[in-house]
């Protein structure tokens, strides 16, 4: 097993040895970039992927790092393992990584609803990391982005009902979907036909219900059911009434969400705006005069969740409901950045 020399410019002698499973995927690439950008201290880095990706070379802090094939022995000497290769891979290899001594931060859906595994957005429920857990679940991208904005409101005024409509980017379906959007758009602009290969419907200049499988009984798709269950877990409200409609839109990498939030008592938009000002992970974009509110074009590449369009919901005459609009980078706060922030918040990043 190759042991990479320290690459982090800030790596102390006992900085953790890090592994990334699924290093060549869209989230894996962003994980590497986040480690670099945040100068996360690590003593070594192991990039792991499938056999077909093994041998590729990725640049990390200016140094070439070869991609290795993921095997049973891949976690020897690893202190922190980031997983972003799908639930099946996580279920098989995460227990092996833990047995080898690693803390696992998993980006798949494999463990998110396991009550023994904390589901964490550091700005929303970072206290779930107390006790030094060995396995931490990274939430669904919509739940992560939404709860950054919802958590400070829930702390101030208990949320009693939540409704959301999502506008989800291609990045949520991976590199292949992002490429399909690029190619389909180019074909449409050229007046050419383009047959969808990754997603079930034409993508250019179109939007459609999220492509997750629909439950025939409830009519909700798998993405919507994930968002409901995970938002409840993160906010600590197991029975919170939540309605959600998830839509795939022709945007490359930032998700947007229209939220209608009902509270126990009367809350004004001004109070909501004040609570969100300076909240961790939130940047207000709420200029009514200029009609400037959160947009995916401005959220892309940003670590903060953009929040705006804050106003009373006129559908609730009691004044207990506030509407807002948020936008966040699906590959960053919705995945890679959140995972790295979890690692930064761990009580002890290296086992004693």
The residues that are catalytic are 141, 255
The candidate with the shortest Cα–Cα distance to 167, out of 292, 310, 327, 294, is 327
Q: How far apart are CA 296 and CA 2, in angstroms?
A: 40
Distance, in Å, from the CA atom of 258 to the CA atom of 326, rounded to the nearest integer, reads 7
The token pair at 193 is: 């036909």
Q: Are 156 and 275 in contact (CB under 8 A)?
A: yes
Provide φ and ψ at 321, rounded to 5°.
-120, 130
89-103 as b/e: b if 16+ CB within 10 A: bbeebbebbeebebb
Q: Report the half-sphere exposure of 197 (CA within 13 A, side-chain side).
A: 12
């Amino acid at each position: 097993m190759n042991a990479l020399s320290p690459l982090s410019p800030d790596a102390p002698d006992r900085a953790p040895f890090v592994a990334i499973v699924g290093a060549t995927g869209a989230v894996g690439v962003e994980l590497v970039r986040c480690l670099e950008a945040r100068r996360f201290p690590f003593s070594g880095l192991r990039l792991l992927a499938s056999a077909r990706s093994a041998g590729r070379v990725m640049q990390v802090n200016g140094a070439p790092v070869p991609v290795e094939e993921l095997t049973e022995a891949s976690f020897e000497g690893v202190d922190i393992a980031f997983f972003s290769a799908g639930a099946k891979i996580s279920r098989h290899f995460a227990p092996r990584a833990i047995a080898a001594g690693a803390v696992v931060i998993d980006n798949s859906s494999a463990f998110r609803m396991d009550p023994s595994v904390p589901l964490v957005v550091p700005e929303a429920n970072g206290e779930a990391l107390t006790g030094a857990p060995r396995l931490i679940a990274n939430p669904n991208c919509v739940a992560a982005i939404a709860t950054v904005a919802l958590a400070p409101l829930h702390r101030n005024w208990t949320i009693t009902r939540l409704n959301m409509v999502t506008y989800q980017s291609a990045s949520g379906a991976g590199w292949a979907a992002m490429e399909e959007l690029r190619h389909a758009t180019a074909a449409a602009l050229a007046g050419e036909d383009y047959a969808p290969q990754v997603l079930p419907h034409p993508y250019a200049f179109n939007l459609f219900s999220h492509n997750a499988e629909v439950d025939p009984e409830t009519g909700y798709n798998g993405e919507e059911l994930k968002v409901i269950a995970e938002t409840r877990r993160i906010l600590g409200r197991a029975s919170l009434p939540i309605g959600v409609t998830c839509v795939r839109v022709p945007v490359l990498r930032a998700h947007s969400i229209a939220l209608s939030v009902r509270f126990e008592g009367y809350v004004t938009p001004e109070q909501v705006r004040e609570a969100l000002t300076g909240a961790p992970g939130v940047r207000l974009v709420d200029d009514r005069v200029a009609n400037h509110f959160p947009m995916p074009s401005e959220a892309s590449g940003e670590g903060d969740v953009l929040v705006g369009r804050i106003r009373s919901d006129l559908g609730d005459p009691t004044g207990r409901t506030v509407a807002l609009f948020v936008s966040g980078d699906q590959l960053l706060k919705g995945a890679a950045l959140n995972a790295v922030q979890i690692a930064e918040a761990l009580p002890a990043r290296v086992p004693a």
